[in-house]
Amino acid sequence: MHNTRSGRGLMRWRRFKNLFATCVMSLMALLVLAPLFAVLGDLVRRGAGALHWSFLVNLPTPPGEAGGGMANGIAGSFMMLLVASAIGVPLGIGCGVFLSEYGNNRYGTIIRFTADVLNGVPSIVIGMTVYGLVVITQRHFSLLAGGIALGIMMVPTVSRSTEEMLRMVPQSIREAAWGLGVPRWRTTVSVVLRTATSGIITGIMLAFARVAGETAPLLFTAFGNQFWNFKLNQPTAALPLQIYTYAISAFEDWNQQAWAGALILIVLIIGTIGVVRLVAARGTLRGAA
């Protein structure tokens, strides 16, 4: 067939195949992006109406009373995520370092398996466990309990992504440091971790975004609160909880506010990720691989 077809015809056929494949791939990409933009668009359309400055700075009001907001929920979520990150990030990174650098043995296999199972545990079960361990002991629903529940959920994601990122650091980089007489622990901390920093940050952001929207583990831990709370041992409002309560309520204006709350939650998550990325990028050198 190639003998009968002229060179130009063959070229045209190749161009057509190339164009066709490009179109198919672009369509796939659009299909993947479509749900995301549909969700975002719907959120903006429905949520923007209830968004006023008062929504960001006021406490919730009873249904029918105008001017209520979710300021306490925003603050509560922020503090809880801070507690969760303070627990989940160091634990997750430590675990990932162990798995990648020292985990080629039975212990590594066991821990890796445990992390995978933990990743699959329904979030409400984690909430109940923390209820049993922290809330009952403390005799209080609390910000701390909510933070712990979310922190536990961050560990497997952070540790597995840290492990993957560290494994991608070539062995030759470790050898270079050992060859200079740098002790092994120092090599791990100052060379291997540092080389994988941007990947590890991506993993942390993934875990962060995932737990930021969690409602179930907070039901029996942080519980929610109509008022401000800045104490670790008191029940605390959280955006997802408030969205949940408002969305299932029978009041039209609360339903409206739930949409606005969801929009704020998404914006805050995207904003946090953006800020962290910017800060991380500032430390990157020209030409760094």
Partner 1 sequence: MGTPIHVSGLNAWFGSKQALDNINLDIPPNHATAVIGPSGCGKSTFVRCLNRMHETIPGARAEGTVKVGETDVYGNGTSAVELRRKVGMVFQKPNPFPSMSIYDNVAAGLKLNGLRKRRILDETVEHSLRQAALWDEVKDELKKKSGASLSGGQQQRLCIARALAVQPEVMLMDEPASALDPISTAKIEELIYQLKSEYTIVIVTHNMQQAARVAEFTGFFLLGQLVEFDKTETIFTKPHDKRTEDYITGRFG
Q: By the criterion CB under 8 A, which residues form the site for partner 1?
A: 104, 170, 172-173, 175-184, 186-187, 190-191, 194-195, 197, 285-289
Choice between 104 and 138, CB closer to partner 1:
104
Closest CA relative to residue 83, chosen from 124, 36, 134? 134
Choice between 18 and 104, CB closer to partner 1:
104
Contacts of 28 (CB under 8 A, 6+ apart): none
Choice between 4 and 172, CB closer to partner 1:
172
Contact predicate 56/74, CB 8 Å: yes
Contact predicate 131/67, CB 8 Å: no
Choice between 48 and 189, CB closer to partner 1:
189
In the numeric block, which tokens belong to residue 156?
A: 């497997």
Choice between 149 and 196, CB closer to partner 1:
196
Min CB(164)–partner 1 separation in Å? 17
Contact predicate 222/142, CB 8 Å: yes
Choice between 67 and 183, CB closer to partner 1:
183
DSSP string for residues in 103-123:
-SSHHHHHHHHHHHHHHHS-H
Choice between 15 and 186, CB closer to partner 1:
186
Contact predicate 134/221, CB 8 Å: yes
Min CB(55)–partner 1 separation in Å? 42
Contacts of 147 (CB under 8 A, 6+ apart): 79, 80, 81, 82, 83, 84, 86, 87, 222
User: What are the Cα distances from residue 71, in Å, to 1, 74, 80, 87?
Assistant: 72, 5, 14, 25
Min CB(21)–partner 1 separation in Å? 33
Min CB(102)–partner 1 separation in Å? 12
Min CB(158)–partner 1 separation in Å? 20
- Could you give the CA distance from residue 93 to residue 156 in angstroms, rounded to a whole number? 10
Contact predicate 265/208, CB 8 Å: no
